[in-house]
Chains A and B, each alone.
Chain A
Amino acid sequence: MAKVVAVTGNEAVANALRQVNPDVCGIYPITPQTDMMQRYASFISDGKVDTEAVLVESEHSSMSACIGASAAGGRVVTATSSQGLALMWEMLHIAAGDRLPIIMPVVNRALSAPLNIHGDHSDAMGARDTGWIQIWSENGQEAYDNTIQAFRIGEHMDIRLPVMVCMDGFIISHSIERMEYLDDPEVKNFVGPFKNLYPLLDLDKPKSYGPLILTDLYHEYKRAQHEVMLKTKDVVLEVAKDFEKLSGRKYGLFESYRLEDADIALVILNSAAGTSKDVIDEFRGKGIKAGLLKPRLFRPFPYEEVAEALKNTKAVCVMDRSDSFGGYGPLFMEISSALYQLKQKPALINKIYGLGGRDYLPSHAEEVLQELHEIAQGGKLKIIKEYIGVRE
């Protein structure tokens, strides 16, 4: 039986990790770490899990410890945020390149400079090309559900890749919301025992991780990494189907909200999608066919499926909570690439919102939907990329 609770996103994900009870956990115990790992450390101290905690002096070391433990043959987790993820950057590539299924919740927060601690997607977007699977979550429930599913996805014998589970800093990580926990045995059964693949500690069969591969096979190695990513979509869907049977909650590659007959649509990640849905309902009430697409699986990115979902719209705005300075927002680039293959494409604009925790308000969604409505009615597309909610 599900248990209804009012908890923060951090509490929820820490509880998911407790229910999985991994073998090893790398913990960097200082800011920018969040209280998620503090809570997990309490579970360890209270004897609620058998996890061995490796306390390290930096996030770079934290990921290094995870890589070592995972290659040795353990089920391994850590969590990070903001600068912590940035400092891990070098090791993120190694975790993915060595095909180690490390599971890492990421509390999305802004990067310095200037110093800021609030919700922003710049950290995880910077890790886009590291070879990690990325799953994004709107609220505490989704972060909890995605964390549980991440083990099945990353550890799948056809996949064996590390997974980041992203949720918005403060807005979700530190805010209390109603959600439902699954029972401990349900989670344990769902995730299943950890299956080893080429563990270093199998001393009878010695092996080597991370060898030197030069011009002879590096190119092929990288193509193999891309190819396994392509298989990941099916596994994500298969795991989601099983998870739905268990929880009643449905997940896909992305969420389509009132999109079937929509003329205009927002594409938006994480918590701001929730706020936008309420405004979309208001526009529907006024007779304007508005919809929303919320990506869940960001790496690998489901280009064809997204294009199919948006192909009948007339105007789409991609909303980015991070930026590529001098370029378009990172989510815009993906949607733009997805839609390019269509013969008939909607008009496409990009808004940058909510950097460094700037509130995303219903009035912002209204403003953007109104602009899309005008474009869909034959109005001119004035500017492709624009900052909204800016103090002038």
Chain B
Amino acid sequence: MSETTEIRWHGRGGQGTVTAAKVLADACLSGGRHVQAFPEYGPERAGAPLRAYNRISAKELRMHCPVLNPDIVSVVDATLLDSINIAEGSKENTVFIINTTKDPKEVRQKLKASDKQRVVTVDATKIAIDCFGRALPNSPMLGALCKVTGLISLDHLLEDVRKSFGKKFSQKVIDGNLDATRRGYEEVHEG
């Protein structure tokens, strides 16, 4: 991977996608790295497709525009695969991380991914429902992203999830999200 990692998130309003990008930026601050996290702003509506972005780099980040050629594409809602081109601008070695119940091979075909592009799936919505009873797949998606990219250690990510969810939620919700993050990390499938 090059010295700057660029990530594009696809989700729908209300799924915690923007929060996921923020938590990741915070977690990646360690080791003196430079980070950016920003959503594509528009009218904010629950259920509407949205994009969010991360850049993580050892160098100062001066670029202030959307990520056009992502190293990682993280799809928080699999229904978006039918309505938008989530592979837009992808590189020859882009990694796709998709929240879906489907088999990664089936997703690979649908995306028409090349041999060098990795396709990874995780059933993040089910994990979220199991762990804290709500279909908010952002924490297991963060776990999966952590596993696939190795940008940060799982322990470090868990600490940051604890910190950012701790500001707003009860201990039960925080514990559920920590479990979900860990399971997202463990339950990735590649095909």
Contact = CB atoms under 8 A, between A and B. Distances in A.
Interface in A165-182: 168, 170-172, 174-178
A359 B62 CA distance: 15
A274 B61 CA distance: 8
Contact of A271 (B34, B64, B66): B64
Contacts of B37: 6, 175-176
A272 B37 CA distance: 17
B65 A176 contact: no
Contacts of B25: 6, 176, 178
Interface residues of B, number: 21
Contacts of A390: none
B36 interface: yes
30 contacts: A4-B32, A6-B22, A6-B35, A6-B37, A117-B41, A118-B41, A139-B64, A168-B64, A171-B64, A172-B64, A174-B38, A174-B41, A175-B37, A176-B21, A176-B22, A176-B35, A176-B38, A177-B61, A178-B25, A178-B35, A274-B61, A274-B62, A275-B62, A275-B64, A275-B65, A277-B62, A359-B65, A360-B64, A361-B65, A362-B65
Interface in B36-83: 36-39, 41, 61-66, 68
Given A4-B29, A176-B25, A176-B38, 5 more contacts: A6-B26, A177-B35, A178-B33, A271-B64, A275-B65
A374 interface: no
Nearest to A271: B64
Interface string A1-40: 0001110000000000000000000000000000000000
Taking each of B29, B38, B64, which has the highest tally of chain A beta carbons within 10 Å of its own beta carbon? B64
Q: Give the bracket for the number of chain A residues in contact with chain B.
A: 20 to 34
A111 B65 CA distance: 21
A261 interface: no
A186 interface: no
A129 interface: no
Contacts of A4: 29, 32
B64 A178 contact: no
Interface of B: 21-22, 25-26, 29, 32-39, 41, 61-66, 68
Contacts of A170: 38, 41
A274 B62 CA distance: 4
A278 interface: yes
A96 to B, nearest CB: 31
Contacts of B26: 6
Interface centre among B38, B62, B66, B68 (most CB of A within 10 A): B62
Nearest to A281: B62
B68 A272 contact: no
A271 B29 CA distance: 21
Nearest to B53: A175
B57 to A, nearest CB: 9
B117 to A, nearest CB: 23
A170 B52 CA distance: 13
A174 B22 CA distance: 11
A175 B36 contact: yes
Contacts of B35: 6, 176-178
A172 B63 CA distance: 11
A362 B63 contact: yes
Nearest to B28: A6
A271 B62 CA distance: 8
A168 B62 CA distance: 14
